[in-house]
């Protein structure tokens, strides 16, 4: 007999450490059933065991989202009728000078940070819209807005920052497309966060027990608390450490001004540019 209970299952990618683990714990405390996705089976099993002891229903799903067959398996699960929340948290950094980083690693960064969340969001949305409820949270980074800043102390991040810029634009544009739909989308942009993220480039999982990089930063639990609070208030862009939302309003105003350049007339400052005067 079918249950009248609405779907209450969340899929969290990158759940084996850091922000993903904190999403899993916070959602479990709120009564969500969980599907936890990551590459490290041992970490996933340990986390699932802890959450089950606290009363949560948890299904680990071991997958490397850079691999097409694994991504297809996760997308199939995300499309199921019981999924009401998707947290696209998995991400790798591929940090390093652009001209020196292995091209295969840069392709993997794009696969994990762009291709996977796009495919999973596409898998999740039709069912959520048909059921009349659901949400997608995309984890980006404040490095999405750091394009003109040089490395030091920031990392070499051309591709990573580009992927996170994509997630910001993708989410904001999708939110505008959905309009007043009951399905919500959010992009959360944390700054430096106290996780193990900087302990590797993402080519392989960080080995051993979960730990925090030396740079410190905001506790991952606070990032998640901000994201879930913002989701309740339907904030599309959540910056956990930003007290004044004015810069986000200013960003939207600047974009509107930039779009004034879509007219048919060439701007005066470019007329005659490049022509020889000799």
Q: Average pLDDT in the 41-68 region?
A: 96
- The residue ranges of DSSP E strands in the chain, in sequence order, are 9-13, 33-38, 58-62, 83-88, 134-139, 183-188, 193-194, 218-219, 237-238
Query: Please, which pLDDT band fits residue 2 given cuts at 50, 70 and 90?
Result: very low
Q: What tens digit of pLDDT does each residue of 92-116 get?
A: 999 999 999 999 999 999 999 999 9
pLDDT score at 211: 63
Q: What tens digit of pLDDT does each residue of 190-217 get?
A: 999 988 676 556 566 666 566 666 677 9
Give the homologous superfamily in CATH for domain 9-270. Answer: NAD(P)-binding Rossmann-like Domain (3.40.50.720)
pLDDT higher than 50, residue 154: yes
Q: What tens digit of pLDDT does each residue of 160-179 get?
A: 999 999 999 999 999 999 99
Q: Is the peptide bond before 82 cis (omega within 30 degrees of 0)?
A: no
pLDDT score at 3: 44
Give the angle 200-196-229 at the CA atoms, nearest 5°.
Answer: 130
pLDDT score at 78: 98
pLDDT score at 177: 98
Give the alpha-carbon dihedral of 47, 51, 53, 57, to 10 degrees: -120
Q: Pick the catalytic residue: 23, 160, 166, 270?
A: 166
**By the 8 A CB rule, do 182 and 233 touch?**
no
pLDDT-wise least confident of 144-148, 210-214, 246-250 = 210-214
Q: What percent of the chain has pLDDT over 90?
A: 85
The mean predicted confidence, pLDDT, of the chain is 92
pLDDT score at 118: 98
Spell out the domain ranges in the chain: 9-270
pLDDT higher than 90, residue 131: yes
Q: Is 270 a catalytic residue?
A: no
């Amino acid at each position: 007999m079918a249950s009248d209970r609405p779907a209450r299952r969340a899929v969290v990618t990158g759940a084996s450490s850091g922000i993903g683990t904190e999403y899993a714990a916070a959602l479990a405390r709120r009564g969500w059933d969980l599907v936890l996705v990551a590459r490290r089976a041992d970490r996933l099993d340990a986390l699932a065991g802890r959450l089950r002891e606290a009363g949560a229903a948890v299904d680990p799903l071991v997958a490397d989202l850079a691999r097409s067959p694994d991504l297809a398996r996760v997308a199939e699960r995300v499309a199921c009728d019981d999924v009401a929340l998707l947290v696209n948290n998995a991400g790798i950094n591929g940090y390093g000078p652009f001209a020196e980083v292995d091209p295969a690693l840069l392709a993997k960064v794009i696969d994990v940070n762009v291709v996977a969340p796009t495919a999973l969001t596409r898998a999740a949305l039709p069912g959520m819209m048909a059921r009349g409820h659901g949400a997608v949270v995309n984890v980006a980074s404040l490095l999405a807005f750091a394009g003109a800043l040089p490395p030091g102390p920031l990392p070499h991040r051309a591709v990573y920052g580009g992927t996170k810029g994509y997630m910001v634009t993708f989410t904001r544009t999708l939110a505008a497309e959905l309009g007043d739909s009951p399905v919500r989308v959010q992009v959360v942009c944390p700054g430096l966060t106290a996780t193990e993220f900087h302990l590797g480039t993402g080519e392989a999982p960080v080995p051993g027990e979960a730990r925090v990089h030396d740079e410190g930063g905001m506790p991952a639990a606070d990032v998640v608390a901000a994201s879930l609070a913002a989701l309740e208030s339907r904030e599309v862009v959540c910056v956990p450490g930003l007290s004044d939302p004015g810069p986000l309003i200013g960003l939207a105003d600047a974009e509107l001004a930039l779009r004034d350049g879509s007219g048919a007339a060439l701007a005066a400052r470019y007329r005659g540019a490049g022509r020889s005067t000799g």
